Amino acid sequence: MSPDTKQEWKRLLLFVGVFAGLYFLPLGSPRFEGAVDESLHLARDYAREHIVLCLLPAFWIAGAIAAFVSQASVIRYLGPQANRAVAYGVASVSGTILAVCSCTVLPLFAGIYRMGAGLGPASAFLYSGPAINVLAIVLTAKILGFELGLARAIAAVLFSVVLGVSMAWLFRREQGERIARMAEMPASPASRPLWQTASFFASMVAVLVFANWANPKQPDGFFAAVFAWKWYLTAAAGIGLAVMAWRWIRLPGGRILATILAVAAVAVLLPGAPELAMLVAVAGLAISTAGRGGEAGEWFDQTWSYAKLIFPLLIGGVLAAGFLLGRPGHEALIPSDWIASAVGGDSLGATLLAALSGALMYFATLTEVPILQGLIGDGMGRGPALALLLAGPALSLPSMLVISSILGWKKTLTFALLVVLLATATGWAFGVVASS
């Protein structure tokens, strides 16, 4: 069969599949219509709570990695032949700084991987970014018990290293070919001193971290104090970023000043809508960089390329996850009581199902703790609870769709399988020890 004939058969099968799906569409079924409603609700919640404050800053950080960080620097510290202790050490504790969800970490992962980071350190970073969240671990210990919080903290750090080393070993042949290709590429010199680049990225990361600092639900303590000052800290980091962009990247001073004043006006007039202030800031940054030459234009181009690659897949994945599993506490196509009843006790099957469910569901930052509190109250074992804590925040159906566009499906499914298996084994062992 010729390639043209195969292509025509693929088109025919696609047309038949679309026709059959539309013909047998179960309109009028409460289960189906409820799943559609949940899909749209989850997408709306994601748009309101995560795109503006989480995803947009992450896109700009990823674009800055490609525009301002030399490939030689990434390869030196995170490349396949970098010092393993340094590479995996940096990648495995990144979550303590970022505290992002499984979707927000994707642009950052894409940025460092495409700039030359080895598959192992990049995979460790991909897992640790959302998994090793200090506030989430503290809340786990306070609400679900000290033993569960401690087990989550230790296992998450170890997981990131084990996952990275396993991915690097399983795909070592492909990584060898990648090293050879990168060695042939000319090394571009650093365009500015390291301290300037570090300060620039620190300000962007500070904006991302403080803008998304979650309410710890505690009246006092460090996390509560930071939450009370989060928007002042975000504003300070944003102003610092603006000044550095004006001085070091040569963005137009007038546009930068106008953006700062516009953001301040929106923040004062609409204090209950911080997303609008962030939108104004992002719009001002886009206007100041789009169409310009040099580093500023490259920053915008790289940011836009990541947005075009990741955003459609991410939204499609969120819609699919909402259709199948719904939002926490809401019914979708798969009945939630099936999952709740199946993860009762500490059996190996219940633990595996909990890990698999966590890997497919989308969890916003910190939401896994109250969800598990309810499931444990309904009879969920501590082993399955730990398995879901280890697999859920770090992976989701939307994130897998995006990872596949960066690594390919073979590496993506391997990464997901490793997460599920490690979470299952650790959760089952923890359940056996806790119940003994």
Which of the four pLDDT bands, split at 50, 70 and 90, describes residue 280?
A: very high
Q: Strand, helix or coil at 422? A: helix
Q: pLDDT at residue 276 above 90?
A: yes
Q: How far apart are the first and last CA of the chain?
A: 62
Mean pLDDT of 374-400: 83
Calpha distance 176→187 (Å, rounded): 19
pTM of the full predicted structure? 0.82
CB 396 within 8 A of CB 362: yes
Better-predicted residue by pLDDT, 46 or 285: 285
Which of the four pLDDT bands, split at 50, 70 and 90, describes residue 190?
A: low
Cα 316 to Cα 321, 360, 425, distances in angstroms: 9, 14, 31
Calpha distance 63→67 (Å, rounded): 6
CB 211 within 8 A of CB 245: no
Report pLDDT digits (tens) over 301-354: 999 998 998 888 888 888 888 888 777 667 788 776 776 667 667 788 888 988
Q: Residue 344: phi, psi to the nearest 5?
A: -70, 150
Mean pLDDT of 393-421: 90
Calpha distance 227→222 (Å, rounded): 9
Q: Could you say which DSSP state residue 140 is in?
A: I
Q: pLDDT at residue 79 above 80?
A: no
Report pLDDT digits (tens) over 137-181: 877 887 888 888 888 888 888 888 899 999 989 998 887 777 666
What percentage of the chain carries pLDDT values higher than 90? 24
pLDDT at 378: 65
Calpha distance 112→105 (Å, rounded): 11
pLDDT at 298: 92
H or E stretch covering 132: none
Mean pLDDT of 380-387: 86
Q: Supply the DSSP string of 356-376, one letter for each residue.
A: HHHHHS---TTTHHHHHHHHH
CB atoms within 10 A of CB 194: 9
CB 382 within 8 A of CB 148: yes
Q: Residue 269 corresponds to which amino acid?
A: L
Q: Residue 152 corresponds to which amino acid?
A: R
Q: Residue 345: phi, psi to the nearest 5?
A: 80, -170
pLDDT at 302: 92
Structure token digits, residue 27: 């309109």
Angle at which helices 119-131 and 105-114 cross, to 10°: 170
The C-alpha R_g of the chain, in whole angstroms, comes to 23
pLDDT at 365: 65
What percentage of the chain carries pLDDT values higher than 70? 92
Beta partners for residue 112, in sequence order: none
Judged by average pLDDT, the poorest of 46-55, 78-87, 167-176, 238-247 is: 78-87
Report pLDDT digits (tens) over 98-134: 666 777 788 888 888 888 888 888 898 888 878 777 7
Q: pLDDT at residue 426 above 80?
A: yes
Mean pLDDT of 253-265: 94
Find which of 38-52, 74-88, 250-264 is predicted with most confidence, using mean pLDDT: 250-264
